[in-house]
């Protein structure tokens, strides 16, 4: 059974770059699927940030594309999110997920989420 | 970008009642790209339905999805205490996923 776990700093200063990592267990990320990040500001809904294909191609939300990048580390079975120039509006719970994005389109396994607060 | 609207915003029902949740898209979407999630307070979302009407692994059959084009529905035939939560619809329109604002199902 696939499991995902986010990790990273809970507090980031405005204008800095935030880095989060998702560690996957129970499934090799090199075997298939897309791997993605979704965030949820306090008391609000879900926003897809972007996804990376196991072969390396990426898709990003156009509203965030200029500030985000997602990468894979197959040796550690991890994928990561980097988001630059953060502001208070980036304060949210960040989830990583396994993404199906061919024929069917959904996220079938999620991490528990990690809270990121942007504040000086 | 396709915008999803969910109604009602809040649905107040009693255990055992039937819940009908609506998801409307601003333009036609492929049924293959329409999914529903359940989120309980403090937890990650859980996939319920994909391809508009297919139940995900382990999802009870009291959950069902239907619809096509711009109008989709999630039905919970008989509410169990554990079903009181927020429900989101999601669609994919290359190259991005978008979510609806959610419907909260709470106890009447």
Q: Categorize the per-residue pLDDT at A35 as very low, low, confident or very high, splitting at 50, 70 and 90.
A: very high
Shortest Cα distance from A39 to chain B (angstroms)? 10
Name the residue of chain B whose CA is nearest to A96's CA: B44
The pLDDT tens digits of the residues spanning A45-68 come to 999 999 999 998 999 999 999 999
What pLDDT is attached to residue B7?
Answer: 97
B56 close contact with A: CB closer than 8 A: yes
Name the residue of chain A whose CA is nearest to B44's CA: A112
What pLDDT is attached to residue A119?
Answer: 97
Is residue B94 pLDDT above 90, yes or no? no
Q: How far apart are CA A24 and CA A35, in angstroms?
A: 10
Residues of B in contact with A104 (CB under 8 A): 32-33, 50-51, 54
What pLDDT is attached to residue B1?
Answer: 85
Q: Categorize the per-residue pLDDT at A6 as very low, low, confident or very high, splitting at 50, 70 and 90.
A: very high
Q: Which residue did the predictor score with more confidence, A56 or A11?
A: A11
* Inter-chain touch A105–B45, beta carbons under 8 Å: no
> Which residue has 């989420």 as its token pair?
A113
The encoded tokens of residue A80 equal 């990561």
What pLDDT is attached to residue A30?
Answer: 95
Helix (H, G, I), strand (E, B) or coil at B84: coil
Of B51, B88, B91, the CB nearest to A46: B88
Rounded to a whole number, what is the largest CA-CA distance in chain B? Answer: 40
Is residue B3 pLDDT above 80, yes or no? yes
Residues contacting A119, CB < 8 A, separation 6+: A11, A13, A14, A88, A91
Q: Which residues pair with B105 in a beta bridge?
A: B11
* Inter-chain touch B43–A95, beta carbons under 8 Å: no
Q: Which residue did the predictor score with more confidence, B1 or A83?
A: A83
> Which residue has 């919970």 as its token pair?
B76
Residues of B in contact with A48 (CB under 8 A): 96-99
The average pLDDT across A5-26 equals 98
Shortest Cα distance from B86 to chain A (angstroms)? 10
Long-range contacts of A72-75 (CB under 8 A, 24+ apart): A72/A29, A72/A35, A74/A28, A74/A29, A74/A30
Supply φ then ψ for residue A17, to 5 degrees: -100, 130
The average pLDDT across A32-37 equals 96
Neighbours of B51 (CB within 10 A): 17
Q: How far is CA B66 from the centre of its chain?
A: 10
The pLDDT tens digits of the residues spanning A60-96 come to 999 999 999 999 999 999 999 999 999 999 999 999 9
The encoded tokens of residue B73 equal 């529905």
Is residue A106 pLDDT above 80, yes or no? yes
């Amino acid at each position: 059974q696939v499991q995902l776990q986010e990790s990273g700093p809970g507090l980031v200063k405005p204008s800095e770059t935030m880095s989060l990592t998702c560690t996957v267990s129970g499934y090799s990320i090199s075997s298939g699927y897309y791997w993605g990040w979704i965030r949820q500001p306090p008391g609000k809904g879900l926003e897809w940030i972007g996804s990376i294909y196991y072969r390396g191609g990426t898709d990003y939300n156009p509203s965030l594309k200029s500030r985000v990048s997602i990468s894979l580390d197959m040796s550690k079975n991890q994928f990561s999110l980097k988001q630059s120039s953060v502001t208070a509006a980036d304060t949210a719970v960040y989830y990583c997920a396994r993404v199906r994005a061919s024929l069917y389109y959904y996220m079938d396994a999620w991490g528990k989420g990690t809270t990121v607060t942007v504040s000086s | 970008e396709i915008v999803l609207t969910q109604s009602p915003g809040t649905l107040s029902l009693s255990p055992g009642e039937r819940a009908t949740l609506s998801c409307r898209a601003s333009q036609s979407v492929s049924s293959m790209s329409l999914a529903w999630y359940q989120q309980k307070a403090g937890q990650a979302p859980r996939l319920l339905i994909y391809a508009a009407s297919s139940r995900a692994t382990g999802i009870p059959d009291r959950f069902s999805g239907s619809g096509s084009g711009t109008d989709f529905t999630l039905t919970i035939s008989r509410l169990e205490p554990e079903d009181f939560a927020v429900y989101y619809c999601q669609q994919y329109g290359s190259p991005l996923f978008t979510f609806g604002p959610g419907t909260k199902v709470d106890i009447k």
